[in-house]
Amino acid sequence: MEDSAPTPHPSASTAANPADRPVYVIGGGPGGLATAYALRAQGIRAVVVEKSDRVGASWRRHYDRLHLHTTRRRSALPGLPMPRRFGRWVARDDMVRYLEKYAEHHELEVVTGVEVSRVERTPDDTGWLLHASGGRELTGAAVVVATGYNHTPALPDWPGRSTFTGELTHASAYRNGTPYAGRDVLVVGVGNTGAEIAVDLVESGAGRVRLAVRTVPHIVRRSTAGWPAQYSGILVRRLPVGLVDRICRVLAKVSLPDLSAQGLPRPDTGLYTRVREGAIPVQDVGLIDAVRKGKVEIVAAVDGFEDGKVVLADGTRVRPDAVIAATGYARALEDLVGHLDVLDPRGRPTAHGPHSPAAAPGLYFTGFTTPISGTLRELSIDAGRIAKAVRRELARS
């Protein structure tokens, strides 16, 4: 259920009995909702604080054609299966409906329209103080940060960007290819988002579609002979990285065409090595055929802009009508927890799941990794582990 945010008086925020304090979960996406449910299952009051007016805000902003790359059964959150009518690969709108139903079904305590800007220890060091919008100060026994991997759109500050006379947008603003029919479009970035947008543009009648690639990605079939790639990811996730790299290299040669002539050679580094570095493989939903048939042209990475043109890394200059930057997102955790010595040089949490950073016991993070076995599956597993860790932490306090 949804409720208005509690507004304790600042002077009373540190006087409350620590045992009476809830655990605050920041973020009303899948990770936050699953963790709130798991905490409740452990008998712990959990309050989800979501800055937008509804749960699942980031999912509502995704492009129209989005479907999960993980199966329905392996994407459900704990305590509520996804309906069979959603099909094997769940659509964006169905995912949003599921998250709404999940919060309602479990009667989760969700506070919407409140943004937490800073988290710190209480003055008496017995809990956590959350500074939130409207001057609110919320005091919790523990805090789980679940603000999401795709938090803030990252648009590179390319040299000369302001001189480009065409349309330049981040992929987060892309909904479908209808506005681009008949136009020359350059998509920058070949992660899953860039790959799917390029295919969507082709299918929507764009006049020309180019895809700028800096690092050649690993591409996998979403499903081969009915066997989802996610299942393979689950089976190999605990094997040695080098062994998985070798297995994937053999499978790629058997199942995928060589696209070197089209500008997409096979990567030099192993698939699982890349995953461990944070780069998930591209799941094919039409890119291979589009590249092979010349409907999506692979070009060099973008180095900058000059005289209204896009300058590519190989020195080529192109003048598309529109540039869509599928250049990823920032975690944007610095203002929230950067002062607590819990982030690495790249702004990622130094601890994840049931483990608190050494400098901040009682502070947990979920949803900031890209596991080969599927993000939603791992969020669900982490939720239970975090809840048990919080229960043990509270028992000691």
Domains 2-151+331-396 and 154-325 share a fold: yes
Reported as a single tens digit per residue, the pLDDT across 277-332 is: 888 899 999 999 999 999 999 999 999 999 999 999 999 999 999 999 999 988 89
109-112 and 2-3: which strand pairing? parallel
Fold of 154-325: FAD/NAD(P)-binding domain (3.50.50)
Reported as a single tens digit per residue, the pLDDT across 187-243 is: 999 999 999 999 999 999 999 999 999 999 999 999 988 999 999 999 998 999 999
pLDDT at residue 3 tops 50: no
How much is the pLDDT for 84?
A: 97
**Which amino acid is it at 330?**
A
Percent of the chain whose pLDDT exceeds 90: 88
d(CA 6, CA 134) in angstroms, rounded, equals 11
Q: Which of 210, 207, 160 is nearest to 181 (CA)?
A: 207
User: Sorting pLDDT into bands at 50, 70 and 90, what band is 4?
Assistant: very low
Architecture per CATH, domain 2-151+331-396, reads as 3-Layer(bba) Sandwich (3.50)
How much is the pLDDT for 340?
A: 97
d(CA 148, CA 333) in angstroms, rounded, equals 10
How much is the pLDDT for 19?
A: 58
Instruction: Please state the length of the chain.
Output: 397
Reported as a single tens digit per residue, the pLDDT across 5-43 is: 443 333 333 334 455 899 999 999 999 999 999 999 999
Q: Where are the domains of the chain?
A: 2-151+331-396, 154-325
CA 397 to chain centre: 33
What are the structure tokens assigned to 271, written together? 């698939």
CA 143 to chain centre: 20
What are the structure tokens assigned to 284, written together? 């094919």
pLDDT at residue 90 tops 50: yes
Over residues 318-347, mean pLDDT: 95
